[in-house]
Amino acid sequence: MGLMRHGAGETILRERAAAGMRCSIYPKKQFGEKFAAVVVPFGSNDVCWQENHSEKPIRFPLGVAHFIEHKLFQQSWGDALFQFGKQGAAANAFTDGEKTVYYFSCRENFMENLRLLLDFVQHPCFQEEDVEKEKSIIRSEIRMGKDDANRAAYETMVDLMYQKHPVRFPVAGTEESVKNTTAEKMQKVYDACYLPQKFWLICAGDVDDHQIMEATALVQEKETTGKIVYCKEPDTIQEQYREIAMGLRRPVFQVGFKLEPRERNLREKLAMELLMDLWAGESSPFFWKLMKKICWTCRWSGCTAVETVLPSAPLWAVVNRQKKRQNCF
């Protein structure tokens, strides 16, 4: 097993399971809490699939990665979430543009919970009746997201930036795409994209690395039949200005800069976050200059919403505020 010492003094054990799955173990002696996660490199941006020896890709339903995340806990033998609870673990999952992550934390029965985690992510049980019931839950989640000012601002911002890349669509998809998703489609997507040899297992806490690697024998490699493909994204932004009317007590502001849509390492992500905070964070001169302008305009004009465009595209900001608001603070 490979050993790596992080700059912060952390020890990381790295290995590959027999099936090819990456494993990273963070030993934390005398820690009471134990944690494990399976990272599946399939997210909401992965909507076009091209079979080997095929010239034309097929398109998955928008939001199908998120839908699979919702239903994968439902197994033929029962509810995996309920079983985690019986074994003393708190389990959950999330989906973003690049990945789906299934995880749990516990103080006892770590190995039993780990085996359960590795088992259920490989054995879907998509039943049409259950899928139909889940649709109303996801559609409700989508509608609730539209009422969240920060999410609405972010989704508007990426929609303005990108013309073809699926990052411009919400992670959960649209109400229409959810309506058109079936158990059969979900199974086909799962079979194509849930490849255990591409999974990444992460464990942390006072755990036994040898027992963990023995448990990874549960993971079985699958044959790859194709690959995810993306349309070429233009360098230019799609739109610079759009208004959103939302009843808010305080303005919500977001600013974005378009980059090439590709996977970035942690160093690049942290550098970009730091740069954006310095330039347009809540403590930056830019932010407060614009906030003062918004408050002055809000006090006198009573507008419902504004998106402010900077002179040098492709930069812009999203601002929402309440109609006829007399005092922003």
How far is it, in rounded angstroms, from Cα 152 to Cα 155?
A: 5
* DSSP element (H, E) containing 280: helix 266-280
- Tokens 């990456």 belong to 22
The Cα-based distances of 62 to 29, 43, 73, 162, 184 in angstroms read 43, 10, 20, 16, 15
In three-state secondary structure terms, 258 is coil
Distance CA 23, CA 194 (A): 17
Rounded to whole angstroms, the Cα distance separating 106 from 108 reads 6
Nearest-5° angle of CA 225, CA 230, CA 227?
Answer: 10
The catalytic position among 69, 155, 233, 307 is: 69
Cα distance between residue 164 and residue 237, in whole Å? 10
Give the distance, in angstroms, between the CA of residue 135 and the centroid of all CA atoms in the same chain. 19
List, in order, residues 6 or more apart from 315 with CB less than 8 Å away.
255, 256, 257
**Residue 254 neighbours by CB under 8 Å, 6+ apart:** 150, 153, 154, 157, 317, 318
Show Cβ contacts of residue 166 under 8 Å, excluding neighbours closer than 6 positions: 44, 45, 46, 47, 48, 62, 97, 230
User: Is 69 among the residues known to form the active site?
Assistant: yes
Residue 159 main-chain phi, psi, to 5 deg: -65, -35
Q: Any idea which residue has 């378009």 for tokens?
A: 258
Instruction: Write out the catalytic residue numbers.
Output: 69
